[in-house]
Amino acid sequence: MDLGKFVVQVLFFCFCMLVQLNSCYCSKKESSILLTLKAQHISSMSIPKAPNRVAFHHNVSLTVSLTVGSPPQQVTMVLDTGSELSWLHCNRTPNTLSLFNPQLSTSYSPVPCSSPTCRTRTRDFTVPVSCDPKNLCHAILSYADASSVEGNLATDTFAVENSSMPGLVFGCMDSGSSSTPEEDAKTTGLIGMNRGSLSFVSQMGFRQFSYCISGRDSSGVLLFGAANFPWLGPLKYTPLIQMSTPLPYFDRVAYTVQLEGIKVSDTVLPLPKSVFVPDHTGAGQTMVDSGTQFTFLLGPVYTALKNEFVKQTRGVLRLLNEPNFVFQGAMDLCYLVELSRATLPPLPAVALMFQGAEMSVAGEKLLYKVPGATRGTDGIYCFTFGNSDLLGIEAYVIGHHHQQNIWVEFDLAQSRLGWAEVRCDLASQRLGLGH
């Protein structure tokens, strides 16, 4: 059994044969790169055991096979919408099964400290870059799951099928630490997909991308470019929030939206809108992150939601009533459900109310069965909203579990996030990417 971690194998289908430096064109139109996503469970042995930590990165891993360098070297990279800089393992360690060898690439070029790339385009890195003894731009990247990598910035050619991007800036990493070494060893690195100037999306020049994550072991879709499909209904949009002033707790290059309220069934939680607005330090932003599994809310909001959900499910669900049972360190509302049940009982939907749109969380997406956890003839199911305060995270995070079977569009051109409910396995079939 597992704890809901997934590896998504991505196969690329490129419709564009010519890539220019900043964007890709077919004839006179911007092309699309279409990918299939296949979700499969992996061992729970890779889950961090610390009770107060949840792995924010690699809970869902979109692994992309592409080539880097001249001549090309095959690499497998994790797609992460919560990160900026793409990076590759460039130094073999006991835990590294796959790496990129820069010495074998004639197009590889390290980035010096004096370059504008090092001096200005790294401003949103959590840890400031530095100069190594060879005057090369040195970076340390750290993640919320306590993993980190360290190495130098460089440029090289990244290619997918017949599409290539020369001079793409990435990190050539020679050391690091991981909270999930067994799983991280299976990939060569990571592709950063946030709004930073050095992210893969920014450097490739794509102004739109979308994904559709299936709920079970079935196919989904990842698309770079516009989603102009007749079967895809109108999307609901909410603005992406931008912050020009650096604040200590605000991630300026994350996909940030404005959460304005939450309702359970028809009951809106009696909370002032101000609790959802970032404070003067930047704490309290709402981020949409495909690399986070569940959804986490700041303490007062989580408590209000928990109390209302318990109230509305009284007589329908049986509380676990074990105060020390906290799933993944932040989810303390759990229930006993008969193992003989084929489906969950009817549950009140939870709606996340954003500026201009709502996202509904209903049915099986509300409760997650904890693998291997039983009490007699009952299984343990936990509420799929957690308490950010228990993680030490000063933000609201909308995870991928609540994005399942939703077409999610990141429209950077119009600075907005859109979504529409859709069967992602059927979307994959319609696009010719099914089983």
Please identify every residue annotated as catalytic: 80, 289
The three-class DSSP label of residue 166 is strand
Distance CA 114, CA 362 (A): 53
In this structure, are residues 136 and 385 in contact, taking their beta carbons and an 8 Å threshold? no
Distance CA 272, CA 378 (A): 38
- The b/e string for 15-28 (b: 16+ C-beta within 10 A; e otherwise) is ebeebeeeebeeee
First-to-last alpha carbon distance for the chain, in angstroms, is 24
Residues comprising the chain, all counted: 435
In whole angstroms, how far apart are CA 296 and each of 102, 138, 150, 302, 331?
A: 40, 33, 29, 8, 9
Distance CA 363, CA 346 (A): 7
Distance CA 152, CA 139 (A): 6
Q: Any residues with CB less than 8 A from the CB of 375 and at least 6 apart, and which? A: 320, 336
- Torsion angles phi and psi, residue 13, rounded to 5: -125, 110
- The b/e string for 147-176 (b: 16+ C-beta within 10 A; e otherwise) is bbbbbbbbbbbbbbeebbbeebbbbbbeeb
Cα atoms in the Cβ-side hemisphere of radius 13 Å centred on 121: 21
Q: Which residue has the tokens 């404005």?
A: 258
Instruction: Burial-class residue 430 by CB neighbours within 10 Å (0-12, 13-18, 19+).
Output: middle
